[in-house]
A and B are shown apart, each in its own frame.
Chain A
Amino acid sequence: MAGAVFGMLLLFVFINFGSLPIKSEVSHLDGEQTFSTSKVSTEEVHQNQVPDTSYHHHRETFQDEERADPAELWTSPESRSQQYETPLVESQVEEGGQSEAPATRNGLAESGQPPKVNDRFQEELVIRPLLSGDVYSSFQFRTSWDTDLLNKQKKVSHFRLFPKSLGQVISKFSIRELHISFTQGFWRTQQWGPPFLPAPPGVELWVWFEHTVQDVDTSWKELTSVLSGIFCASLNFIDSTNTIQPSASFKPLGVANVTDQRFLRYAVLPREVVCTENLTPWKKLLPCESKAGLAVLLKSEKLFHSSFHSQAVHIQPICQDLQCKKTSWELRQTLSIVFDLHATGQSKREWSLFKMFSRTLTEPCPLASTSKVYVDITETPKGDDMIEVAPAVTLQMHAVVLGDRRKYMVYDLMTPEPYGSLRSLNILLKWKLQDSEEMLPPILHAERYVGGYGLQTGEIHTLIYNNHPFRAFPILLMESVPWYLRLYIHTLSVISKGRENKPSYIHYRPSKDRQYPHLLEMLVQLPPNSITKVTVQFERALLKWTEYPPDPNHGFYVSSSVLSAQVPSAVALDANHTTEGPLFTNLFPIMEESSYFMRVYTEPLLVNLPTPDFSMPYNVICLTCTVVAVGYGSLYNLLTRTFQVEEPSAGLAKRIANVIRRLRGVPPL
């Protein structure tokens, strides 16, 4: 009995070891930063600290299709695509067929009075060879519609080019602006330079509601559910714990009469995986779907075999004319892909449309008013030609993109010229340089990682690089940290060149457990040629056991922090905008000659939280029950066992004899 009790004790000790709540072998957190590297991206231009809508008016002036004022093209990317048939570029080019483009579209003009069409569709593809040997392709599809979707008196319900699903969502929820992006992979700014369309990994959604909306939170909740239905994404995971209202980082891009952040909602799901099921509904929003035009190239088997994939939808109101008395609605669908030299290109520095997309182009979308392909043929920093393009076309243009002067070869798909005798366009790019050339470091980029050790506290480090040799400029840094990382805001330090750099504006909203996240926005001046380090310590919270995801040891994501900046341009931006044009150059207007707007997303973080051993309760139950059963069994046995003298058992012969006797009905022996 003593032995049994001792055994029980031993077992209980063992149980206690087995039920340690925290796993000790959690990997070192700093290792997580290798998960993704730095990312710099360019997006919208805003003024940084002061909510100012002046530029809206600026940009609004360029929405008029008829107005081909080259001076203003540069500021308004949306208008650019519309206007591109008219402006400068064509004037430089003498070639036949150009004039047919509008005719093809308006072929109906011949048969009597053409019904008034108030919506337009444009498509565009930019191919940019990267110095690393990879290829960056960026699609933009733009649908604009001269109507007021928010009109309460007369509901808009008859759709032509604009997708009905999105139009109904906008009227239903009174949305002023909607921006959603789905991104797989991370944009490597250091190797690839800044992108045309920056986006953080995962899903990013930000929406400006109309100021008539009474209950913004409910609308937001319903809207995310509806959008998750439209785009087949897990947007329903957006709730108050990951929604923020940035005070200055995200200003409306279109015509805006609201700049009150109460009507803004912003959320990122860094964990969301983007795949075919998100691409298919995105393609369905295009009027030609993927049946004609540039969209035939969008085949998922190739698109997702790439190192970076980002698709987005931007909806915003824009001005119809200079006076901006009326607004149109613009839907801009963008898709960017980077094909990897080694994974997709078999390490050969030769690319073609067919190799990238396994399709070639044969026709534009018949509903499009413009349909163009741009190939970046800019020389390397040393002045050599970087690539050779075939078939070569005479149409070329220059544009200042993200503070850099670029040269493009333009294929106008509305004309028969690019298709050649084969009636199919397969653009070939061949590198002249065989070795990767070092690219100039991007002027602004950032990286972020988690420091510290153990599972109790840690530190978020953000490094912001200003590589401009002599210009200092301010950036707006926005961090959104989930509540389970409790920021110690008193430990916040901003250090540039070894000295403290006091932010001139700080907006901080502390988190509330299980309700909303931390939001930190700071305006920091970056000294020239410097690295600014922003550090803040945090404590990891213990979650309730039901709050852990199914794979808790994977870690918890913290969404990318966002840098918005007005970056000084290396090339003077042409205030007269005499040479630039198309859609891709910038989503956002230019405020001044000497600087351009850039948005940079850092890496998302993956942080380990103290994680209980979830098999513990089961183990405890099993072991306890075994011990109880064995202990009880032996104890009971000991207490109730009695000893009796047993007669020796009968031999085999006797038993057989007894069986036979029983059969015979005779009493046994």
Chain B
Amino acid sequence: METVQEADVSLSQLNESPSGSLVIYVIPETSGLLPDGINVYMGIYRTAILRTSLHKEAKMEELLSVIGPKILRIIQTVTFTNNDIKASMSDRVPTGKFTKESLADSMRAFKSSPGNYEITFSLLNPDPKSHDLHWDIEEAVDKYIQPFLDKLSGVANFSVDSQILYYAILGVTPQSLPHVINPVEARLGKKVYIRFILQSCALFFCSTFLIILTAPLYIKDQNGATVQSNAFHSPRWGGIMVYNVNEKYSDNNRFPVQVNIDTVRVMEVFLAQLRLLLGVQLAYVPDDFLMESPANQGLTDWELDRFLWLRTLENIATATTTQTSLAQLLDEIGNIVIHDKIASQVYNAVIAIQAAIAELEAGNLGFAFQSSKEAILASEKAFFDPSLLHLLYFPDDQKFAIYIPLFLPMSSALWEMWCQ
């Protein structure tokens, strides 16, 4: 085997590892497979290669004591740490401290929900008179976005579409670029009715915009350096990329100038943003680790596993808190009627939560995730059942208003008598 990449491919063929598992191959210190200074290699499948020094005569216990800590490091990288758990539950559990990065990651992503994701790519053309823009979005989506979404197809349903909006003027100065969402969102106006279409299930929108500007606009980071991708994204909403039309067109060029957008450049950025929005977090990697880039798929197998681990935890947390809230609500407002339908949803949710935890303990990631999905669906259905609303508002002052015509005249007569 020439390279470590080839090793990765052939090793993964050798051993079909199930979801949630990781196979670690140990190679001797002398092996030249890994470059210097790198001790661990993470492939794009569920394999890792660990380089370590071993004595041939060493006993099992000794071997384990040497490898053990190293394996632990790998496992921590590919699964999750306590901080990750805390961060992913940050919405539900307000206490606890977590690192800044993991918190930022969790705030960026859409909160877990077994819903449908609608991903919209919008091309904003502020001046169709002078620029005629074309993007081959269909091909670009098939090539770059679809493989990524196919990988995530077990997590949720995704639909991708695109549109071109003309005369979409940003209406913001470069300084107030973060506020660009409002004028852009006003042009979309889609949430109302699409949410209606898919009433029962939660729906998220990842809107990604490509803005074309004639006058170049460059985005800089806090240090003042120009951001390479010229893009930024808005947490839990979508991303924006500014695409400057650099072409120097001569005066005799007739308007509108035709511009073909480089979809590869755009999709690279959008894919990265999509990963952040969906919450596929970047693992914290120690220096001596080498990660293989996921290539076209945008996601390696072990990253997907890591994502599923976290999602499962998050789903369980959400389902549990939803159930708790429902219980609290019932305690506070006594006259809510719980129909059998809601009750059965509550039971289903509890059973599913228990099943998910049991599967987690057993290490069956796939089943655990499915159960957690069921749990969250059932608990949301129970909590948002419209019949709960009926008796939510029956305040005492209304009862008072109804009976006062009876009691007021009568009491005045009684009061008079009492005075006498």
Contacts and interface: CB of A to CB of B under 8 A. Distances in A.
Interface in B244-292: 253-258, 260
A289 B168 CA distance: 10
A620 to B, nearest CB: 10
Interface string B143-164: 0000000000000000111111
B135 to A, nearest CB: 9
Interface string A155-168: 10111110011001
B158 to A, nearest CB: 11
B25 interface: no
A104 to B, nearest CB: 8
Nearest to B192: A229
B413 A158 contact: no
| Contact residues of B: prevailing secondary structure | mixed
A114 B21 CA distance: 51
B417 A367 contact: no
B166 interface: yes
A160 B162 CA distance: 8
Contacts of A281: 189
A639 to B, nearest CB: 11
Contact of B159 (A157, A366, A637): A157
A629 B409 contact: yes
Interface stretch (B9-17, B193-201, B333-341, B388-396): B193-201
Interface string A279-315: 0010010011101100000000000000000000000
Given A165-B189, A165-B190, A157 B161 contact: yes
Contact of A226 (B162, B196, B255, B412): B196
A651 B189 CA distance: 84
Nearest to A636: B417
Contacts of B417: 633, 636-637, 640
A159 B254 contact: no
Interface stretch (A105-113, A268-276, A317-325, A443-451): A105-113
A13 to B, nearest CB: 19
Interface string A363-404: 100110000000000000000000000000000000000000
A289 B125 CA distance: 13
B80 to A, nearest CB: 35
Contacts of B254: 107, 110
Interface stretch (B64-72, B103-111, B126-134): B126-134
B163 A630 contact: no
Contacts of B255: 107
A366 B256 contact: yes
A157 B193 contact: no
Contacts of A363: 129
A48 to B, nearest CB: 36
A226 B193 CA distance: 5
B410 A632 contact: yes
B257 A111 contact: yes
B196 A115 contact: no
B161 A159 contact: yes
Contacts of A108: 132, 256-258
A284 B167 CA distance: 11
A159 B162 contact: yes
Interface in A391-427: none
B413 A164 contact: no
A367 B137 CA distance: 19
A625 interface: yes
B194 A168 contact: yes
A9 interface: no
A637 B413 CA distance: 9
Contacts of B197: 172, 222, 226
Nearest to A169: B193
B187 A284 contact: yes
A347 interface: no
A622 interface: yes
A292 to B, nearest CB: 7
Interface string B164-196: 101100000000000000000001011011101
Given A226-B193, A629-B412, A291 B405 contact: no
Contacts of A289: 166-167
A229 B193 contact: yes
Nearest to A111: B258
B409 to A, nearest CB: 3
Contacts of A284: 187, 189
Interface residues of B, number: 42
B161 A168 contact: yes
Contacts of A157: 159-162
A628 interface: yes
A626 interface: yes
Nearest to B413: A633
B167 A633 contact: no
A625 B408 CA distance: 9
B397 interface: no
B190 A158 contact: no
Interface in A318-335: none
B409 A288 contact: no
B416 interface: yes
Interface in A608-629: 618, 621-622, 625-626, 628-629
Given A222-B196, A222-B197, A226-B193, A633 B416 contact: yes
B258 A112 contact: yes
A366 B413 CA distance: 81
B413 A629 contact: yes
Contacts of A110: 253-254, 258
Contacts of A225: 193, 196
Contacts of B160: 157
B132 A107 contact: yes
B419 interface: no
B413 A630 contact: yes
B358 interface: no
A165 B413 contact: no
B138 interface: yes
Contact of B196 (A107, A111, A229, A640): A229
A628 B257 contact: no
Nearest to A117: B134
A291 B187 CA distance: 13
Contact of B164 (A160, A227, A621, A630): A160
Contacts of A520: none
A366 B130 CA distance: 9
Contacts of A353: none
B409 A630 contact: yes
A230 interface: yes
B60 interface: no
B166 A633 contact: no
Given A158-B138, A363-B129, A625-B410, 8 more contacts: A108-B257, A157-B161, A159-B161, A281-B189, A366-B256, A629-B410, A633-B413, A637-B417
Closest 5 CB pairs of A and B: A633-B413, A629-B409, A229-B193, A157-B161, A108-B258
10 contacts: A107-B256, A110-B253, A157-B161, A168-B194, A287-B166, A289-B167, A621-B405, A625-B408, A630-B409, A636-B413
